Amino acid sequence: MRILVTGCSGFLGSEIVRQLIDRGDEVVGLSRRETPDLVRLGMQHHRGDLADVDYVNRTIADVDVVIHTAAVAGVWGPWKHFYVNNVVATRNVLAACKSSGASQCIYTSSPSVTFAGGHQSGIDESAGYPDRWLCHYPHTKAIAEQEVLAADSVGGLRTVSLRPHLIWGDGDPHLLPRLLDRARSGRLRIIGDGENRIDTVHVTNAASAHVSAIGAIASSPESAAGRAYFIAQDEPVRCWEWISRLCQKFDAPPPTRHISYRAAYAIGATCEAVYKALRRREEPPMTRFVAAQLAKDHYFDITAAKERLGYRPTVSMEEGLDRLSRGEKTPV
């Protein structure tokens, strides 16, 4: 198949590209950054901005499937920045899919689209969107997700939305470096009682979920398409025990000092107000969203992904952690 991956230079997008190439697909990658390593593997690369309609239309022409992973993540920044990159860009991708005759659009969403600040303990996809948002990222991702799902079966296009949670693994440029930096600088605090449970997903598993979705939609479109799916390891862990294990593997001091959720949330609200008043662009040291994410349960029922997409995690938590400590590159 000829498959286009937006955000191919990202952590998840690059792993999806590698898995598609390994199974023999013709892959086109879109990103703002150069990707010489993926080009050497055989990917055709187009560099540009998904907010540019002409660029999107040109590059999505003549592809069978689009996997749309490109997005702006984060907990701080102006609304317009998130809206253009997460909503407008997705609208452009959907419009190009319809005009080009692509058969599938697989969208990378986030479990945070259902998060309002409370516990998410074993929830499934019946959980609705919240009435309030703690930052612009989940809000704009939720808008885009709803438009992706509304586009299913329009003009022959079939769509799904995948919600991988806390993607990690060797080569991770985001989650693990951030945690370790805070631990080494003494800025990492256990928020709440430290007993909250979370789901994560190894990057190999997150990518394979996207690849599995292609086959599921092709073989059983009425069962697989038009839905959102939580994607996880299927091995919930206690958040702060897991963080401590990561710290120990990389010779960083595990967090031992506590702060109550109420205090962390209040500090986050104050930081946000001050940074907004001063128009500061850098992320505050604490926000309401971060406080809630680090103190509340976030684990999910992934039965739908197993039954409808055929998703199965192939890299276990223990195997992934062992590979991290050995510094190995995870094979597909």
Residues annotated as catalytic are 137
Lookup: tokens for 239? 């958040």
Residue 194 buriedness (CB in 10 A; 0-12 / 13-18 / 19+): middle
Question: Are 206 and 167 spatial neighbours (Cβ–Cβ below 8 Å)?
Answer: yes
> How far apart are alpha carbons 196 and 236 in whole angstroms?
10
Selection from 93, 113, 90 nearest residue 164 by Cα: 113
Do the beta carbons of residue 147 and residue 94 sit within 8 Å?
Answer: yes
Q: Cα–chain-centroid distance for residue 242?
A: 19
Query: To 10 degrees, what angle do helices 261-278 and 288-295 make?
Result: 160
CA 306 – CA 68 distance, rounded (Å): 21
* Beta-strand runs (E) in the chain: 2-6, 26-31, 44-47, 65-68, 104-108, 120-123, 158-164, 167-168, 190-191, 197-198, 201-202, 228-231, 237-238, 258-259, 298-300
Residues 116, 80 contacting (CB under 8 angstroms): no
Neighbours of 27 (CB within 10 A): 24
CA distances from residue 164 to 107, 203, 257 in whole angstroms, order as listed: 11, 9, 30
For the chain, the residue count is: 332
